Structures are given as structure tokens and as C-alpha cells.
Amino acid sequence: MQRTHTYLLKICRFNSIEIVQDSAPGRFSALVLVDTPKPDMIAGMEMIGETAGDPSVPKIELDHHIGSDSIYYGDEGLRLVYEASSTCEIIGHLAMKIEGDEALKARYDIEDLLSRNLVLAVISGMIGDSQMGRFLKSRRERWFYAKFSSIFENLLERKTLAGSGNFSSKEQVFEALAALSDDEEACYGIMSRGVETIGGVRFAALDAESSRKVFSTYGNETVITVSKALVDALAEGSGCLGLVGFYDDPGQSPFVQFRLRRSQSFTSLDLREALSRLEIANGGGHPGAVGFRIEREAVPDIAAAVRKFAEALNAMAAEGNANSAP
């Protein structure tokens, strides 16, 4: 189970960093976009829309989504976007660069940039996004993941007091990220009901009323976290592809959400290309994991829509396997 978001929120609260979730913030001096391939996929964009269009506000972008489905959002010269295992890896690399610049640190009175909380946040994001490196495919991604995760694990160990009971290794952090809370267990049980299989695709769909109930009972953060865990489990269970669909919280969004994940043992289909072939414009992600959304009015029957997607994806997977056969 991925609980990186919860971890980062706790770290922000501990360090008195203001978190804006349900209401528009006041005026701010810069926008920093992290880990989002397209402007229209930014969470809470409606809260910052006016400032986002203000040319006097610098737009800074940190992201590892590259490819045909990605669009730059940051201003020219303020984009740090390249192939990496996760955006947290990029943030960690940037932090190490700053840490080595004594003049820069003196100018801005930075004493301890690589604090334990920052190290914990970076390593949590790296291992959570890649599932301890299991979902990385390219040799470059695996090499950099191994290098940076080892560096930050060593930092975490050095900055953790012996006998404190706090996390000091990647394995301990990953076990905590993978643990299910009672609410998450209950939500997972509801969202995983009625799982079906078409060929190499395992899928589940939550109708409008069930979606409304899980959002009202467990909240947006838990539902999103559980949907990611469920699609991971479906993909690994099928050995090919997993697909989850649900209606967004009706008070927050007019969309139906879909998550599509590729098993770590199946590499014959780039899921970004699958979105293109399905003629879905509002979506994006990685070769092995994507999300997309469709307006509610266009999905009167989510179960039928998910089955239709599953049939098309199964045909694409079979085609990919045939093309990759020796």
C-alpha cells in the first residue's frame, strides 16, 4: 500500500508548513509543480487558477514524466525535468547539489538542508513510487535508483538516534508504507468487491452510489491511496494489467477516475501509448502506470465502460506479447 502522501503531510505538519487542501490560499510569490505530467492533472488547480495565469508569478517544475503525453508547465529556465525513478529522486539530487554549495548556503543562512525529515521524505517517495525499485524497467532508472536510495538510506541511518525506535532503513520505511490502517482495510474491501478478469486484465469498478459512500466515509486521501494499492494488486495478480474505476467525490470533481497499472513481469505495452490508442486525452503517467479521467456524463455505466477498456487492453497486451516473442 502506498502511503507516501500521508507521510509527507505529517512531515509538513511537524515542521509547521502550511497545507492547503480545501480552500484557496492567499497571494503567494511562486508556484512549484511537482510530479505532474500535465497542467490539467494538477490536484487543486481550481484553487490556484488565477495565480497560475499570472506571468509575474514564477512557475517552477520538478518532474520525471517525459514523453509524448507530457507538457512543460514551469517557466523556461525553471524546469528540472528528466528521466528518473521518481520526482523525489530529482529533489534528492537537487538537495545534494545545494548541500555542496557552501556559498549558496551561507547566502541564504542554510545550516542543515539534509535534515532527517527531508531525508525521510525523499526516501519515502523514492521507494513508494517504485515499490522498492520493482517497477523500474530501464537500466538507467535502476542504476540511479540504487545509487540515490543507498545514499539517502545511509543518511537516514546516520541521522537516526540508536535505540529511538525511528526508521533507519529502506526496509523499515517500506514496511510502514505498505501497512494498511483499519480505514484503508475497510475501504480496500469495498473497492475490491466484484473483481473480474478478461484475459490478462483484472479489473474492478465502483458505481456512483458506492463511490459516494466510500468518499463520505473514508475521505479523499484514503480512497486515492487504496485505489493505487488495489490496481497494483490486480496487476500483479493477473501477471499483466490491472484496472480500477470509480466516480470522484461528487462535491469535488465532475469526473470518473481510472487507474491502470502494468505488472512488473509484463513489459510489452507502454501504457501511455495505450491511452493514445484508446483515444483518451485527459490522462498520463509512466510506461507502467497511468491515470485518466472522463466526465461523468460520458460514463452512464462504469461497469460497462471498464469492461470495454479491459477488452481493448487485453487485445493490446496480446499484440504486445506476440510482437515481443522470439
Q: In the 8-state DSSP scheme, what is residue 202?
A: E
Which residues share a beta bridge with 152?
none
- Residue 25's SS3 state is coil
d(CA 55, CA 249): 32
pLDDT given at position 57: 86
Closest CA to 142 of 152, 132, 151: 132
Q: Residue written as cell 469526473? A: 255
The cell for 47 is: 484553487
Q: Map out the domains of the chain as residue ranges.
A: 4-178, 182-324
- pLDDT tens-digit series, residues 143-189: 888 888 899 999 888 888 777 767 788 888 877 776 666 788 899 99
87-to-32, 65, 112 alpha-carbon distances in Å: 13, 9, 21
pLDDT given at position 63: 86
Q: In the 8-state DSSP scheme, what is residue 205?
A: E
pLDDT given at position 194: 86
Closest CA to 198 of 280, 319, 306: 306
pLDDT band at 295 (very low <50, low <70, confident <90, very high): very high
Residue 126 burial (10 A CB sphere; 0-12, 13-18, 19+): buried
**Is the predicted pLDDT of residue 21 greater than 70, yes or no?**
no
pLDDT band at 47 (very low <50, low <70, confident <90, very high): low
Torsion of CA 160, 164, 166, 169, to 10 degrees: 50
- When pLDDT is averaged across residues 78-107 and rounded to a whole number, the result is 89
pLDDT given at position 8: 64
- Residue 295's SS3 state is strand
Inter-residue contact 166 to 158 (CB < 8 Å): no
Closest CA to 133 of 94, 89, 167: 89
Inter-residue contact 136 to 145 (CB < 8 Å): yes
**Is the predicted pLDDT of residue 12 greater than 50, yes or no?**
yes
Helix axis angle for 208-218 and 182-191, nearest 10°, is 180
**Is the predicted pLDDT of residue 202 greater than 90, yes or no?**
yes
Q: Average pLDDT of the chain?
A: 83
Inter-residue contact 177 to 4 (CB < 8 Å): yes
**308 CB-near residues (< 8 Å, 6+ apart):** none
Helix axis angle for 170-178 and 116-130, nearest 10°, is 60
* Sheet strands side by side (includes 31-34): 31-34, 59-63, 79-81
pLDDT given at position 49: 64
**Is the predicted pLDDT of residue 216 greater than 80, yes or no?**
yes
**Is the predicted pLDDT of residue 258 greater than 90, yes or no?**
yes
- When pLDDT is averaged across residues 5-19 and rounded to a whole number, the result is 67
pLDDT given at position 219: 86
- pLDDT tens-digit series, residues 115-144: 888 888 888 888 877 777 776 767 888 888
The domain 4-178 having CATH identifier 3.90.1640.10: the answer here is yes
Q: Are strands 255-262 and 283-285 parallel, antiparallel or unpaired?
A: unpaired
pLDDT given at position 199: 95
- pLDDT tens-digit series, residues 225-257: 889 889 989 999 999 999 999 998 877 788 999
pLDDT given at position 6: 62
The H-assigned helical ranges of the chain are 4-14, 45-52, 87-99, 102-107, 116-130, 139-159, 170-178, 182-191, 208-218, 220-238, 271-277, 302-324
pLDDT > 70 fraction of the chain, expressed in percent and rounded? 83
The cell for 132 is: 522498492
pLDDT band at 1 (very low <50, low <70, confident <90, very high): very low
Considering the entire predicted model, what is its pTM?
A: 0.62
Domain 182-324, CATH:
3.10.310.30
